[in-house]
Amino acid sequence: MKLKRSCKILIWLVVIGLGMIIGSSAEESLAVHFRRPVAIVVSPDGTRLAIANQRSGTISLVDLHKKKVILETAIGKRLSDLIVTRDTRRLLVTDEEAHQLIAVSFSPAGYEVEKRLTVSPYPASVRINDEGTYAFVASLWSRTVTIVNLNAWLDEGDKQVSTMKHQIRLPFAPREMLVLNVADQKTKIPSLEIPRLKLLVADAFGSRLAVIDPESGQVDSLREIPAHAIRGLRLHSTKSQLVISHQVLSRLAQSTFDDVHWGSLMTNVMRTLELSDVLDPKADLLTHSVLQYLGGPDRGAGDPAGFVMNPNGLTGLALSGTDELMLLDENNVYGGRVKTEQYPTAVAMGTDGVYAYVLNTLSDSVSVVQLAGPLLAGTISLGPQPDFTPADRGERLFHNAKLSHDAWFSCSSCHVQGHTNGLLNDNMTDGTFGTAKRVLTLRGVAETAPYSWTGRFKTLSDQIAHSVKSTMQGNPLTEEETSDLEAYMKTLPPPPALGTEDKLAVERGAAVFEAQNCRNCHTQPLFTSAKILDVGLKDERGTSKFNPPSLRGVSQNAPYFHDGRARNLEAVFTQFRHQLNGELSSEELTDLVAFLNDL
């Protein structure tokens, strides 16, 4: 075992050690650009960090002894994740703009792309199993998990085996994943046939968890927990429990000062589930759920993100909204916070179990934190950033929980990645409490005035100022802050359509859309209008006039209507007969939904 480990270290040294030679020349000449680092791994010997940069499409190599970047190589357009293969010879990287899984190896010239594999669009994360035989790629907007036969792809040894093992469609947009080895698990489940491997996949925006059987490509179970913004998944050191970092938005609480202050509206939590419940498709996930509430009145812990656990059970959790790393002991008892730089999202554990490396996504830097303590041991810059544009400043505000009272949450808590968590929130934007409304996506919001469900705000900046002051109970924004946030939101493109293979159905669906006069309210090209209309839906206080939401990317916005009463697009027409001027045949319905899925 030890031998194997030292072998690995040796190979790693060969693979990336060369970086030092090149690095000595590279370190002085790091490009001035925004990196937006999103994923981090520690080399098996614990001396280096490899970091995937989203905005620059580069990989940075950090020497931990020198505490500096020794290399930065462009390998793609927009990177979203990276991991080391089990043989430690390669990095696997996802590119969410080129829609590729990239195998990267090392050469004297730096990182070198060895292979590119086109996967389902918008890959957001990649994992591998312990044996290193499979790579699992979660594709966000196309809602697909791709299982890649790594040996077949990389070594091309066995031509009989196809590279793609399975492409599994999910009813939600996946991001975080965790490979579960059932053999690890201490408690046995009688109802479970003994499979070796399972893949847990979490909803990027909302509250769903799926367990996938990689061998068969089947979805074992699809369940919901009261959660959104699931940003960390790990096995507890006991191997019998699953730990999840996420947020909880109460449907019943209101965006009043009191409900925000006392943590009734939004809570930031670490949830522990029994692994046996997770693996048993029939089990109720919540029967043994234990919640650890993070932060408290006067000091919120907005937007918990990635976390690590060292062998002693110490947890280092990134609080991406408050720019801190929070320490929790083996019982999840609070052990202190360390200030990091802006928007820490991912954490990697050093091989010694002493240091954690926190990736500050909006500062292009790594904070080195000694977990016991906890103490800030140093900060490593990934390279110089250019001057901030208003949109860049806006992006930093958007992810900053300090905009809310006591830093309980940020804009991105509900508008996860500028999209929506799909949940209901009872705020005063519609002028009344007791009328919880679905959180709207901010993607594509630039051109869809007026704003809010009731169309109450003529400009986006009015809506922003109101939301921060009222919904978030924060200090009023300055004019510059408001316009910066507006500038950032206007850079967000509409959610990409889920799409469909059947282009003919889309064409037929367009005809149905026309025949039903849908465009009267959902007018092209944005499939919305500035009107405020009564379409026969009422909220709890009798408000029935709403501004029609844009249908661009509508396939990504479920559930539908102001209170999310329609679970999917089909239900909009079958169950609620939304503005139909006659009967829809089942073919027409299928075509119309295909058309909407393609918008």
Give the interface with other proteins as residue ranges (CB under 8 A): 187, 225-226, 238, 240, 248, 250-254, 256-259, 261-264, 272, 274, 286-299, 328, 331-335, 434, 540-542
Which CB, 292 or 470, lies closer to other proteins? 292
Minimum Å gap between C-beta 344 and other proteins is: 18
**Residue type present at position 394:** G
Which CB, 45 or 277, lies closer to other proteins? 277
Which CB, 196 or 261, lies closer to other proteins? 261
Q: Which residues pair with 380 in a beta bridge?
A: 366
Which CB, 334 or 576, lies closer to other proteins? 334
Q: Is the peptide bond before 493 cis (omega within 30 degrees of 0)?
A: no
Minimum Å gap between C-beta 262 and other proteins is: 5
Q: Is residue 198 within 8 Å of 180, Cβ to Cβ?
A: yes
| Residue 572, phi then psi, degrees to nearest 5 | -55, -35
Minimum Å gap between C-beta 271 and other proteins is: 9
Minimum Å gap between C-beta 179 and other proteins is: 23
- The H or E element that residue 200 is part of is strand 197-203
Residues 6+ apart with CB under 8 A from 599: 497, 527, 551, 552, 553, 554, 555
* Distance (Å, whole) CA 310 – CA 200: 21
Minimum Å gap between C-beta 269 and other proteins is: 9
Which CB, 260 or 551, lies closer to other proteins? 260
Which CB, 2 or 282, lies closer to other proteins? 282
- How many Å separate Cα 91 from the centre of its chain? 21
Alpha-carbon distances, residue 570 vs 243, 249, 390, 577 (angstroms): 35, 27, 40, 10
Q: Is the peptide bond before 559 cis (omega within 30 degrees of 0)?
A: yes
* Distance (Å, whole) CA 384 – CA 235: 36
Q: Which residues pair with 177 in a beta bridge?
A: 201
Minimum Å gap between C-beta 290 and other proteins is: 5
* Distance (Å, whole) CA 493 – CA 491: 6
Which CB, 256 or 342, lies closer to other proteins? 256
Which CB, 94 or 421, lies closer to other proteins? 421
Q: Is residue 470 within 8 Å of 256, Cβ to Cβ?
A: no
Which CB, 86 or 239, lies closer to other proteins? 239
**Helix/strand/coil for 277:** helix
* Distance (Å, whole) CA 16 – CA 36: 22
Minimum Å gap between C-beta 326 and other proteins is: 8
Minimum Å gap between C-beta 20 and other proteins is: 41
Minimum Å gap between C-beta 289 and other proteins is: 7
For tokens 């090392």, name the residue.
106
Minimum Å gap between C-beta 564 and other proteins is: 14
* Distance (Å, whole) CA 175 – CA 141: 10
Which CB, 61 or 423, lies closer to other proteins? 423
* Distance (Å, whole) CA 524 – CA 594: 17
Residues 6+ apart with CB under 8 A from 522: 528, 529, 548, 550, 551
Q: What is the DSSP letter of 541?
A: T
Which CB, 329 or 480, lies closer to other proteins? 329
* Distance (Å, whole) CA 67 – CA 350: 14
* Distance (Å, whole) CA 366 – CA 347: 9
- How do beta strands 79-84 and 91-95 pair? antiparallel
Minimum Å gap between C-beta 150 and other proteins is: 36
* Distance (Å, whole) CA 163 – CA 157: 11
Which CB, 154 or 308, lies closer to other proteins? 308
**Helix/strand/coil for 312:** coil
* Listed residue (583, 573, 582, 548) closest to 562, CA to CA: 548
Minimum Å gap between C-beta 463 and other proteins is: 25
